[in-house]
Structure 1
Amino acid sequence: MDVHEAYDQQYEPGDIVYVIYRNPHIQNVANIQEAAIVQNPDHEEEISLFLYETYYPVSDELAIFKTKEEALEAYETYFGDLEGANELW
């Protein structure tokens, strides 16, 4: 079992998760966004993170959290207080 398979086992299709998403156009902007875990339509044996109409492979390279509270705690650890920041939920 590789790292990605082990990570995939933490989630099931239909799970709602929260991710810290960095704006690809403005690197110093990050938000917490709700996303869904779904079956990958191109590779049905894999799951994907569905965010902004795009499928992303679930991996340890993504900041995925099972609860909003976990995402908030991580955001504040790495980016500071959310007060005044753009929350997208």
Structure 2
Amino acid sequence: MYIVVVYDVGVERVNKVKKFLRQHLNWVQNSVFEGEVTLAEYERIKAGLRKLIDENYDAVVIYKLRSMPPRETLGIEKNPIEDII
């Protein structure tokens, strides 16, 4: 499955969440990651995020898709996925 993760977390947790997600997904923009994952990887990502965030304050949204959607970027592409081998 292809997932897109969008998060809004407290300043003190931003770098921890970003570092964790970079181990599993492609960084797209500030607070946005995406990538192809297995069901087991998806569950690991959810469990890891639950340990890092404060569920009473932070928000993480995970969109589950069947395949990589076509995308169009207006302006500067911060981290082009096409460059990944």
| TM-score in terms of structure 1 length | 0.30
Greater helix percent: which structure? 2
Greater strand percent: which structure? 1
| TM-score in terms of structure 2 length | 0.31
Larger Rg: 1
Structure with larger RCO (C-alpha < 8 A, sep 6+): 2
